[in-house]
Structure 1
Amino acid sequence: MGLAMVNQKLAILGEFLVKWGGTMLVSFVLMSTYYSCVHIIAENMYDNPTQIYWLTLIARVIILEIIVNLACFVYYARYNSVTYWHRKSCVADLRVYAEDNEAQPEVEYASAQPRVDRHLSWEPANEAGSKFCFTCNKEAPQRSHHCPLCKMCVLRKDHHCFITGACVGLGNQRYFMVFLFWCAIGLVIAMPHLFFYMNTEIAYWYPFGWCYYIGPVAVLRWILGYTPFSQACFSTLFSFAGASLITACGFFGMQVYYTTQGYTMYEYNNLTVRATFQGDGENMGERLRLVFGKNWALNFLVPLPWNLPVLTPAISDSLFRVRSKVL
């Protein structure tokens, strides 16, 4: 096998690990935590079979929610593309709804035009500051950002998440937030069980037992032959679960804050963008419907991919300052 072939295979492996390595690690931690709490710790922690039954049922529901929303996040990452939203704005069925018979402000679903009959004559309010993406070879809205890993311009990009393997954008942000929500709930339930097991079965029996709560310390002692492999595994799992809980809660809190402000994380921390664009939506309802669609709260129970993001004319004008010349 030639050196060029080896480099090519290493490049493919490296790209795969960069894209999916974090996802595989988090999936392994979550499934290990589920198995440990339900099949190992619960029998030592509870005497009543009913308590074990309910713990198992709740754990399965949480794991199902996490898996489904992660799958939706990865699948709908393709809908972050600027080209997709340009096409959507041209061919979408532009509907206007009103709660009463009285005139209401126009609200469209995934549309950049105020009305169909004004499609050809509609122009953005301001094309200043537009940019040309040399990688995609097309003009792109100012609020889009090219991702070299996703290989496309992402509209309303929040960030590229190495844990989930895709960009967080307009098409899949809802699933990312719900994924974080259920991860946080599951880890909040799991951590007391892991702590109970660590405190009673491992760390309690040793001097300086607090060291066994730290995964790297337990692994080092296992390498040196002082700690059994099972104890090193539980200590490592406890450390990973604690770090994952802090990360999930932190990211979910930030996502909620930025969403309620009408920005993404990237835009909120970019002073140029914040100075140029106001936050999306005039009120909290518009900002939540922009990310989750109608009946936004139901997304935390069941994914609603058919409920497209709701764009008001003002939000559409902000997102689509420049239309792509190459569809």
Structure 2
Amino acid sequence: MGLAMVNQKLAVLGEFLVKWGGTMLVTFVLISTYYSCVHVIAENMYDNPTHIYWLTLVAKLIILEIAVNLACFVYYARYNSVTYWHRKSCVADLRVYAEDNEAQPEVEYACAQPTVERHLSWEPANESGSKFCFTCNKEAPQRSHHCPLCKMCVLRKDHHCFITGACVGLGNQRYFMVFLFWCAIGLTIAMPHLFFYMNTEVAYWYPFGFVYYIGPIAVVRWILGYVPFSQACFSTLFSFAGASLITAGGFFGMQVYYTSQGYTMYEWHNLTVRATFLGDGENMGERLRLVFGKHWALNFLIPLPWNLPVLTPAISDSLFRVRSKVL
């Protein structure tokens, strides 16, 4: 009995670390980078207080953007559910909506920019059936994929992000992309400050001093008593910040590329999906509005959760192929 309880507690702890461990690590790196650049490095790097003031202001703005979009990403991960989008945007539901609102045929339905009349007049190009998810015990659209960590079928799944602790899907992809954008901007500003401090205060007097920029080497030297704890901390932070910049910038670039092609990362690298389904949207505008909603560029300044993804008839047919035979 005692062993069973221990295993249960370890399982709960493991699940917690898998879900939130990456998020806690990123949060720690961002807060440490902000504090180091603004409260430690800036005083040594700048003589003019005005420069420190503007650096602090910009840093606070970037941290706010990152925190808000990360919170929105985690919260709206629940809206990746196939069930939610069936209820909200499915073509079959549009028919019911139109029958109940015959006096207002031009009213837009929820997140769809085209009118209900356009959706009902759309003729699907392909009548492929659905697939059955044995875990959820229900039929699901072909372009949904079950996530064992999120415990649901995710519509238009991109990937499960261990750093943010949730799947990237139709309901929250915009926040993921904006989160990556501001992380890349913030780390791009922070890296020269960290490099200045490392080059002047930590490793400049050592032969081949650049070796001590690497966090693990500095930690080992601290354990052996060769360097102070502060050097090990800054070397580790410099390594984490550099790796995070490469990761955030790389992932943001990939997200932009896949979005411009009308696919997610999972679908782009799945040749079966690419052979069966055309990329969403007929042009770049439709593809951006599918991810960000109307006024897509404003999402990079302030989240617009009330502007839901815009689904054209062709995109609806592709996403909800499971309903096409019912109609």
| TM > 0.5 fold call | yes
Deviation, 1:128, is 2.4
With over 3 angstroms needed to count, the CA separation of the structure-2 counterparts of 1:206 and 1:89, relative to structure 1, is same
Seen in structure 2, the aligned counterparts of structure 1 residues 153 and 71 have a Cα distance that, compared at 3 Å, is same
Segments of structure 2 that go 5 or more residues without pairing to the other structure are none
Whether the 8 Å contact between 2:113 and 2:311 is mirrored in structure 1 is no
CA distance in 1 between counterparts of 2:289 and 2:158 reads: 17
Secondary structure of the corresponding residue to residue 164 of structure 1: coil
Q: 1:100 to 1:144 in 2, by over 3 A?
A: closer
Rounded Cα–Cα distance in structure 2 between residues aligned with 1:147 and 1:317: 23
Q: Aligned partners of 1:267, 1:30: CA distance in 2, in Å?
A: 31
State the distance in 2 between where 1:243 and 1:103 align: 57
For each residue in 1:246-281, what CA deviation from the matched residue of structure 2 results, as whole angstroms up to 9, or x when unmatched?
000000000000000000000011110000000000
On the 8 A contact 2:124/2:324 being kept in 1, the answer is: no
In structure 2, C-alpha distance between the alignment counterparts of 1:268 and 1:13, rounded to whole Å = 34
Q: How many Å apart are 1:238 and its aligned residue?
A: 0.1
| C-alpha distance in 1 between matches for 2:321 and 2:36 | 51
- Please state how far the C-alpha of 1:323 moved relative to its aligned partner: 3.5
Q: Distance in 2 between the 1:271 and 1:288 partners? A: 23
Please state how far the C-alpha of 1:14 moved relative to its aligned partner. Answer: 0.1
Deviation, 1:187, is 0.2
SS at 1:93 equivalent: helix
Post-superposition Cα deviations, 1:202-252, rounded to whole Å, max 9, x if no partner, equal 101222211110000000000111011000000000000000000000000
CA distance in 2, matches of 1:234, 1:105: 62
Greater mean alpha carbon deviation, residues 27-36 or residues 105-114: 105-114
Percentage of identical aligned residues: 92
Matched, 1:267 2:267: yes
Summarize deviations over 1:20-71 as a string: whole Å, max 9, x none: 0000000100000000000000000000000000000000000000000000
Report if aligned partners of 2:112, 2:310 keep a CA contact under 8 Å in 1: no
Which is worse superposed, 205-214 or 232-241? 205-214
Gap change, CA 1:45 and 1:88, over 3 Å in 2 = same
Cα separation, partners in 2 of 1:221 and 1:166, compared to 1, 3 Å: same
**1:6, distance to aligned residue in structure 2 (A):** 0.3
- Change in CA separation of 1:107 and 1:232 when aligned onto 2, cut-off 3 Å: farther
Q: Which moved more, 1:86-95 or 1:129-138?
A: 86-95
| 276-285 or 125-134: bigger deviation | 125-134
The one-character-per-residue Cα deviations of 1:296-324 (angstroms, maximum 9, x if unpaired) are 00000000000000000000000000049
Runs (4+) off by over 3 Å: 90-127, 323-327
Contact 1:92 1:111 in 2 (8 A): no
Q: Secondary structure at the match of 2:145?
A: strand
Change in 2 beyond 3 A, CA 1:102/1:18? closer
Quick one: structure 1 residues 122 and 46, their matched pair in 2 at CA, closer, same or farther if it must change by over 3 Å?
closer
Distance 1:51 1:101 in 2: 59
Checking the alignment, whether the CA contact within 8 Å between 1:150 and 1:167 is kept in structure 2 is: yes
| Distance (whole Å) between structure 2 residues aligned to residue 112 and residue 52 of structure 1 | 46
Distance 1:83 1:2 in 2: 40
Q: Counterpart of 1:204 in 2: which secondary structure?
A: coil
Change (3 A) 1:100 1:239: farther
**Quick check: 108-117 or 92-101, which moved more?**
92-101
Rate the CA distance shift 1:288–1:234 in 2: closer, same or farther, 3 A: same
SS of the residue aligned with 1:167?
strand
> Given that residues 98 and 116 in structure 2 are in contact (C-alpha distance below 8 angstroms), is that contact kept between their aligned partners in structure 1?
no
- Which is further off, 203-212 or 157-166? 203-212
3-state DSSP of counterpart to 1:154: strand
Q: How many residues align?
A: 327
- CA separation of 1:101 and 1:317: change in aligned 2, threshold 3 A: closer
Shift of 1:89: 2.4
Matched residues in 2 for 1:137 and 1:101: separation? 33
Asked if the contact 1:70–1:175 (Cα under 8 Å) also holds between the matched residues in 2, the reply is: yes
Output the CA distance in 2 between the equivalents of 1:250 and 1:224.
36
Tell me, in whole angstroms, the C-alpha distance in 1 between the residues paired with 2:212 and 2:113. Answer: 60
Classify 1:181/1:191 alpha carbon distance in 2 versus 1 (closer, same or farther; 3 Å): same
CA contact (8 A) 1:110 1:311 kept: no
Distance 2:136 2:286 in 1: 31
Check the 8 A contact 1:222/1:232 in 2, yes or no. yes
Give the conservation status (yes or no) of the 8 Å contact 1:113–1:313.
no
Give the superposed CA RMSD: 4.4
Cα distance change of structure 1 residues 92 and 172 upon mapping to structure 2, 3 Å threshold: farther
For 1:163-312, what aligned pairs fall within 5 Å after superposition? 163-312=163-312
